[in-house]
Amino acid sequence: MLEAANLRRQMVRQIPLDTIEFLESAGLVAANSGWRLYLVGGMVRDLFLNRKTVDLDLVVEGDAVNLAQRLAEITGGKVVIHSRFGTATLTWTDRRIDLATARAESYARPGALPIVKAGSLVDDLFRRDFTVNAMAVDLSPGHWGNLIDPYGGRFDLSRKLIRILHEKSFVDDATRVWRAIRYEQRLGFHIEDITLSLLKRDLPHLDSISGDRIRHEMELTLREEYPEKVLRRAAELGVLAKLHPDLKGNGWLKRKFEEARQLSVPGRPSVSLYLALLAYPLCAGDVEKLIAYLRLPRSLAHVLRNVAVLKGSLRALAQPRLHPSRVYLLLNQSSPPALAALSIATDSEVVRGHIRAYLERLRYVKPALTGDDLNKMGIASGPQIGEVLRRLLEAKLAGKAKSREEEERLVGRWSRRT
Ligand code: ATP
């Protein structure tokens, strides 16, 4: 057995000084009301792994909302109260701290949201997903820094294992299937054997999870540093196929995600770019099914639909001698993220060249003449102006109107003809 530890030195080494000071005063403020306050969740886990965490999760055996309000007075921060859950979020400058009242949970049926009642810290840790996430650090004066580890999280960390806390864990909340895979792949751990067999047994429970919650898991997955690792494992375990049977977590996806990262340096690719690449093998009808299942917001759905339409233009776009005006017409209905996805997904250098030309040059081309100018030249207001502007743009892209004078000449010629 590992000895009960005090983590003060480790915390002071890894956590910024002002956060340490905050954690000390918060423990004191809670104690003044006779409550005990604890640091929980990812930050405790990451302390042992030498990884940086930004999110602070605190649990109080007391009243979280009241404590958050008092801490807001000290820090000058703002509190948002989530009264349904007895939780509060405290923010100041770039800080965000979640405070929760220690609670026990039970589930009326698989996939339902939990029924919550006040409980002890140990109850609160028991409702968590994995042993490595079910540790706490005491912040009470006199005990500050003591590790509380009732479920063997530290032992599992040392063995690099992701282990659920009880046999019904995935039945209670099947989103933990996605969480298990994410932690396993992010940390380079293994899902422990019994946990893995229960995960496989309980896969059907994923069907009882709402599309909104699955979308949230998907977004978190695509925000990982290497989402393709999570998707590969999810495909291997039959989890990805629950979203759509044609989605693949294969070598193609890995290559394309790597390319997306190279192109997005120094930032990370957006969720929409990754999702568009993941959905690339789907036909338009199946893209619609995925959009409906995940209840994707309009902006994400738009990118996916754009890509499905663009795939229909691939053959035309693969022609090397395509005229710029034709490139413009093939691409101008699509958003830049959809074009970026197509450019990464295609293996055709010619297609990529056309997309690059469009994004870098063609989309900015505009006639020198404006609607007002055309009005003054005698073109009647209304749809005609739009039509002339469109023809002017085409002429300009075709190199037939290189100056304002040439545009005027063309408009004059068209007016005489009508
Ligand atoms: P990260 O943000 O680095 O992925 P985290 O551990 O901070 O990791 P959050 O999703 O912020 O993860 O959740 C905070 C804590 O809440 C987790 O450490 C875990 O203890 C608990 N938790 C979150 N989601 C669940 C869940 N579905 N079931 C049980 N416990 C959960």
Residue 179: name the closest of 191, 193, 194 by CA.
Answer: 191
State residue 2's pLDDT score. Answer: 44
354 and 342 Cβ atoms separated by less than 8 Å? no
Ligand 1 atom closest to Cα of 173? 27
Is there an atom of ligand 1 within 6 Å of 57 CB? yes
Is there an atom of ligand 1 within 6 Å of 133 CB? yes
CB atoms within 10 A of CB 252: 15
pTM above 0.75, yes or no: yes
Where are the domains positioned within the chain? 4-157, 301-364, 371-417
Residues of the chain with pLDDT > 90: what percent? Answer: 79
Q: What's the whole-number mean pLDDT along residues 135-162?
A: 97
Instruction: Choose the weakest-confidence range: 80-84, 165-169, 216-220.
Output: 80-84
State residue 1's pLDDT score. Answer: 41
Q: What's the whole-number mean pLDDT along residues 59-76?
A: 94
State residue 380's pLDDT score. Answer: 85
Ligand 1 atom closest to Cα of 183? 4
State residue 264's pLDDT score. Answer: 84
Which of 129, 168, 220 maximizes ligand 1 atoms within 8 Å of its Cβ, making it the mutation to test the pocket?
129
DSSP E strands: which ranges in 164-259? 190-191
123 pLDDT more than 50: yes
Question: In degrees to the nearest 10, what's the CA dihedral of 397, 399, 404, 405?
Answer: -150
246 pLDDT more than 60: yes
Structure tokens given for 256: 């394309």
State residue 418's pLDDT score. Answer: 64
State residue 85's pLDDT score. Answer: 78
Is there an atom of ligand 1 within 6 Å of 55 CB? yes
Q: What's the whole-number mean pLDDT along residues 221-248?
A: 97
Note the pLDDT tens digit of each residue in 285-317.
999 999 999 999 999 999 999 999 999 999 999
Note the pLDDT tens digit of each residue in 2-18.
446 999 999 999 999 99
19 and 56 Cβ atoms separated by less than 8 Å? yes
Residue with tokens 């009326």: 108
Q: What's the whole-number mean pLDDT along residues 111-136?
A: 90
Q: What's the whole-number mean pLDDT along residues 378-383?
A: 86
114 pLDDT more than 50: yes
Given its phi and psi angles, is residue 310 left (phi above 0), alpha (psi -120 to 50 degrees) or beta? alpha
Is there an atom of ligand 1 within 6 Å of 129 CB? yes
Note the pLDDT tens digit of each residue in 29-66.
999 999 999 999 999 999 999 888 778 999 999 999 99
269 pLDDT more than 50: yes
Average pLDDT of the chain to the nearest whole number: 93
The CATH code that applies to domain 4-157 is 3.30.460.10
Note the pLDDT tens digit of each residue in 311-357.
999 999 999 999 888 999 999 999 989 999 999 999 999 999 999 99
Can you tell me the distance from the alpha carbon of 129 to that of 169, in angstroms, rounded to the nearest whole number?
7
Residue owning the nearest CA to atom 25 of ligand 1: 129
